[in-house]
Structure 1
Amino acid sequence: MTSRYESLTRTELAVLIPELLLCGHLIDRSGMAHVLGALGREGMTAVAIEEWQLASPVYTRRMRRALGIDGDGVAEIFKGFQLDIGAPPQFMDFRYRVSDHDHGEFHLDHCGALADVEPMGTEFVVSMCHDIEDPTFDATALATNPQAQVRPVHRPPRVPADRTPVCAWTVVIDPAHEPPTPHERAHLVAGSEAAAVALAPIEPEGEGLHDYSGPLLNDLRFGDFSRAALVRIADEVALQHHLLTLGYRTAVAARTDPDTTLDIVGKQFAGIAGLTAERLRNALGLGDDAAALAKVLRLHPAFNPAPYVDIDVSTETSGGAQTVQLRIGRGCGAVDDGAWAALLTPDRLEPLNALVRAVNPHFHAVVREATDCALTIEIARAATPFRESTEVAITRFSTGAAFAFTDRGIPLPLTVR
């Protein structure tokens, strides 16, 4: 199988992709609370800067290649933003304007990240909107043009407190601009298996857009893409999850001992695994039985894309009760990288339990076999429901946990060719 997302219809994929983008953004809501507890606000800020600096140039280049985004102007930078887990549609409501190849601007009509952080106080707002955004916007833009600079017109803390748009930025490309220096640990993510994994090219068959080589659109309506393009986008967005988490793990490991790093990354995995499973189940209108769980497992970004994460999911019936069997192969890129699949061991099933209980709180995971080649787990129903894990509850703090996407109609081109 080249992609597990091939099992979905074009309509289902168009619903799924915004969910994957949003859940990728919420990885930080899951992870940063635990970094804050271990390293304080300044340490959390440093981890956030580093993880995005390490990951976003890598996955932006991948998405550009996948969708034929060949230019190096402001419009192409904005196309990258639209397909980035750092800017999920509507939740981070970027509005773009392009003046010419080298000049543009954007503002945010709504910023879900700000809505999450403002109640925490001015210091946290400054950390996010100043300390983190300055280096990470440039890191993302350099994947399109190293001479691009993203600079604020205005940004929070908001004065007055209800100011809209919440922030505004210019993007200028100038040969005189000095490209940002790559991070000293950039090679650890850029050289990962995730960065190099080969995915099937988009075959231009059927209806819809097969790439994003045309004009920049004010919004992306994913239903306008072809089914083949949507499959590839879904795989690339799932890979963004892994690349960001590898950046997160690298940044945490540089500041803590190995046991603390493993504990923090495991808690991050548990929080986002559960919330993502819940959103996927709801978005696709699934039930809460074994069949629904099997589908969620096959589609969950923690276990995708298929060429990177080796899993097999099946259902079995015994004595009238259905169970789900999950086999995680140990000879795959995700395990080699130390990504999420590598964190599941016979002694550490908390992230998987958080995931399966988001489908049904009665589910629980039991190891059936553990070898050097694979970990095989059975997921069955317990008589009484389990409480939601602390890690999922922390992630649910974000307004993104209950965010609902809306139909904005036909997208409009912002550039004329």
Structure 2
Amino acid sequence: MTASNYTALPRETLARLLPELLLTGHLIDRSGMAHCLAAFGRDGMTAVAIEEWQLASPVYTRRMRRALGIGGDGVETIFKGLQLDIGAPPQFMDFRFRVDDHDHGEFWLDHCGALLDVEPMGPEFVVAMCHDMEDPTFDATALATNPHARVRPIHRPPRTPADRHPMCAWTVTIDSAHTPPPIPANAELVANSAAAQLELPAIDHANDGRADYAGPLLSDLRFPDFSKSALVRMADEVCLQHHLLTLGFLVAVRARTDAAVAIGRKQFTGIAGIAAERLRAALGLGDDAQAVATVLRLHPAWNPLPYTGIEITVTDDVVRVWFPRHSDAIADGAWPALLEAGQLGPLEAMVRGVNARGYVRAVEAERLGWTAEIAFAATPFQEATEVAITRFSRGAAFTFADRGIPLPLTVV
């Protein structure tokens, strides 16, 4: 089996990278929804957001549970899943939890970066996100653990007063009398994708640190507490979450327009640049060719390696990215499938997230794949409009804090 790109990183670097990958997954919507708003209006944008999360989150929630040995079917298990979900990146979406018993609990958000992004747009957009989107998508995530789970608001925005904290609060109830909602019409398109079925190496329990998330629910996950093997698997799984969400996005957009590839490419360009920028900062890298190659190798768009098969090499000041013609990602129509000669905006945005002077100098094609050669101009290029749109989110510049030792959340 092809090795992970993340195995080359030391454990402490992987632990620093995990929150970044979760956050960039969340910011995919800050990129994609702006273009859906332009194409379909607010109602159409909302419908796309609902469908993409409904299709993707049950799939990747089950994958992460299996990977980390998260057993059970109760409220505590649902909350563990949220802590490893790109829909709830730590601190930026600051979920707090209370477990009453197997069937009852509450969560609330002490900080909601998504709300702070949307509130300046007006109450209609807040209602679209916090009511229209959250009702079906929270349920879809919970249903991945228990089909009889329901998530219902205690209070939620628009906030009254305007600085109300916590920003929202929700109950989670499991009741066998609850009838599960119908399966979304296009669920099988994501559930049967190569990304959903991809097999990755099991976590090695002989390593130092936690190899699973069995035991009590913790108030926060401290990634440095996990073993290197567990962190590598989590990183690859979170990258798959990026791809699965994008597959759901493309399914929803294709149902509404023939311009789905163009919209998908804009979404890809916006998040490609911001993710590269954040990875470079998190890793403390410079802007030379080696730094560009390192960021590309670790970028969620090109991982997990067994899914994409994309190879990055560097010689002197030239970076080469080799794209196979056949891979699981190509078969799914995921991000790598959106690139072709003459349509390399996402790759250039990614490179310029590390060095604003980067550009694709040449493309060489052969039977098994094609290579993009990256070089550097004398002066910087202007930031892509798609990246500037994504930068609107406070998440683009968000800083994580060390919260110390987490507390176990036990039933009171």
Q: What TM-score do the two structures reach when normalised by structure 1?
A: 0.97
Tell me if structure 2 keeps the 8 A contact 1:302–1:340. Answer: yes
Correspondence for 1:399: 394
1:397, CA displacement in angstroms? 0.0
Correspondence for 2:294: 295
Counterpart residue identity of residue 342, structure 2: D
Correspondence for 1:68: 69
Counterpart residue identity of residue 403, structure 2: R
1:104-150 deviation digits (Å, cap 9, x = unpaired): 00010000000000000000000000000000000000110000000
Correspondence for 1:307: 306
Correspondence for 1:276: 275
Counterpart residue identity of residue 56, structure 2: A
**Helix, strand or coil at the partner of 1:104:** strand
Report the more deviating stretch, 26-35 or 369-378.
369-378
1:416, CA displacement in angstroms? 6.2
Q: What percentage of aligned pairs have identical amino acids?
A: 68
Residue number among 356, 369, 374 corresponding to 2:364 in the alignment: 369
What is the distance in 1 between the residues matched to 2:397 and 2:105? Answer: 32
What is the distance in 1 between the residues matched to 2:268 and 2:388? Answer: 13
1:207, CA displacement in angstroms? 1.6
What is the distance in 2 between the residues matched to 1:375 and 1:238? Answer: 23
Is residue 37 of structure 2 the alignment partner of residue 40 of structure 1?
A: no
What is the distance in 1 between the residues matched to 2:190 and 2:65? Answer: 18
Is residue 329 of structure 2 the alignment partner of residue 334 of structure 1?
A: yes
Tell me if structure 1 keeps the 8 A contact 2:106–2:171. Answer: yes
Correspondence for 1:215: 216
1:373, CA displacement in angstroms? 2.1
The residue correspondences of 1:16-415 to structure 2 (distance < 5 A) are 16-257=17-258, 260-317=259-316, 322-415=317-410
What is the distance in 2 between the residues matched to 1:41 and 1:71? Answer: 38
What is the distance in 2 between the residues matched to 1:233 and 1:191? Answer: 21
Structure 1 residues 134 and 377, CA gap change in structure 2 (3 angstroms): same
Structure 1 residues 348 and 13, CA gap change in structure 2 (3 angstroms): same
1:275-320 deviation digits (Å, cap 9, x = unpaired): 0000000001011000001100110000000110111111112xxx
1:372, CA displacement in angstroms? 4.7
Correspondence for 1:6: 7
Counterpart residue identity of residue 347, structure 1: G
What is the distance in 1 between the residues matched to 2:322 and 2:361? Answer: 12
1:335, CA displacement in angstroms? 0.6
- RMSD, aligned CA: 1.0
1:331, CA displacement in angstroms? 1.4
What is the distance in 1 between the residues matched to 2:384 and 2:313? Answer: 25
Counterpart residue identity of residue 132, structure 1: M
**Helix, strand or coil at the partner of 1:360:** coil
Report the more deviating stretch, 33-42 or 202-211.
202-211
Structure 1 residue runs of 5 or longer lacking an equivalent are none
Tell me if structure 2 keeps the 8 A contact 1:25–1:86. Answer: yes
What is the distance in 2 between the residues matched to 1:28 and 1:34? Answer: 10
What is the distance in 2 between the residues matched to 1:275 and 1:139? Answer: 28
1:125-183 deviation digits (Å, cap 9, x = unpaired): 00000000000000000110000000000000000111000100000000000112110
What is the distance in 1 between the residues matched to 2:382 and 2:337? Answer: 25
Q: What TM-score do the two structures reach when normalised by structure 2?
A: 0.99
Tell me if structure 2 keeps the 8 A contact 1:346–1:367. Answer: no
1:206, CA displacement in angstroms? 2.4
The number of equivalent residue pairs is 411
1:366, CA displacement in angstroms? 2.9
What is the distance in 2 between the residues matched to 1:372 and 1:393? Answer: 36
Structure 2 residue runs of 5 or longer lacking an equivalent are none
1:371, CA displacement in angstroms? 3.5
What is the distance in 2 between the residues matched to 1:38 and 1:416? Answer: 47
Counterpart residue identity of residue 241, structure 1: H
**Helix, strand or coil at the partner of 2:211:** coil
**Helix, strand or coil at the partner of 2:18:** helix
**Helix, strand or coil at the partner of 1:376:** strand
